[in-house]
Chain A
């Protein structure tokens, strides 16, 4: 079931959404989007930056007449990608490896076994990580993941399968 694509965008007049709309979306989805971003970029501060940036841009610039949660998630994915790209350049210089558990406090909170999973997730190629986060954290359907990532459904399927296989080989079947 793909609710996003079933929206009657052709029927609705393309009236510019009032500012209150964006404020409402921010109110409703900020925490959820920060949580999504934290799984993609690994630390809370960067995740908050990514989400703030997305909304600051939408607030100032053009935005689609029908602003959906799927669209916001795509923006968060894109924002996270640019952050990771910038960070990769830095890492090449400093040779530091960061996982998805940014602080000692977080590590204690989530436990060692989960930390291993998140570290393995962080080591995956970007698309594979995105597919897994959308599938197993947000529980999105294949069609929704395809929409958010901007790829075909078959790509989603194969990317997810490859990602799972790679995690499995890194982590083993069991604890």
Chain B
């Protein structure tokens, strides 16, 4: 009945449909061959270190010791366009809010919708694991940390740009209450005062 052409069309369309479309605006992968400068901050460190310490001081041969905050990510710091990062639960998240396990597709849609509906949020971009890992890999992060980190360790996140004058804290508080969110970070605060990242997120109530 069916010609080889019809069978081809049908099989290829079926295979293509198995590739999911999550409907989220994915963040553009970081440029190849360039290293984002600035503070190396890694959310992956959370999974690796298994601790929610605010800031860890890592020994560094350079004269000024480098501060590495453990609760935000590199790309946010490198890209000054990001005001707020909202991190999502992974399977092994140490966060109390992630006891339900990894964020679900439904939760992601819900978070995206809820944040998009806010008047103080201008744009929302979704950063997937692979992009987060690439950014992390190209950061100045500790070599041991890099070796111990895999794509699966990276949390997914939403990167938000706020309208001028908006209060980031209000957005953080709203974001953290959404199911599937592990923590949220005020990137502007972190950029201004990287040594005191404890004030810039809402890890603990």
Contacts and interface: CB of A to CB of B under 8 A. Distances in A.
Given A48-B130, A110-B15, A22 B5 contact: no
B26 A132 contact: no
B11 A59 contact: no
A171 B7 contact: yes
B7 A117 contact: yes
A26 B8 CA distance: 27
A39 B16 contact: yes
Interface residues of B, number: 32
B11 A117 contact: yes
Interface in A89-142: 100-101, 106, 109-111, 113-115, 117-118, 121, 132-133, 136-137
B1 interface: yes
Given A48-B130, A55-B29, A137-B16, A60 B1 contact: no
A56 B30 contact: yes
A2 interface: no
A99 to B, nearest CB: 10
Interface in B129-145: 130-131, 134
Interface stretch (B31-39, B44-52, B190-198): B31-39
Contact of B11 (A19, A26, A110): A110
A85 B203 CA distance: 46
A44 B128 CA distance: 15
Contact of A26 (B4, B14, B18, B26): B26
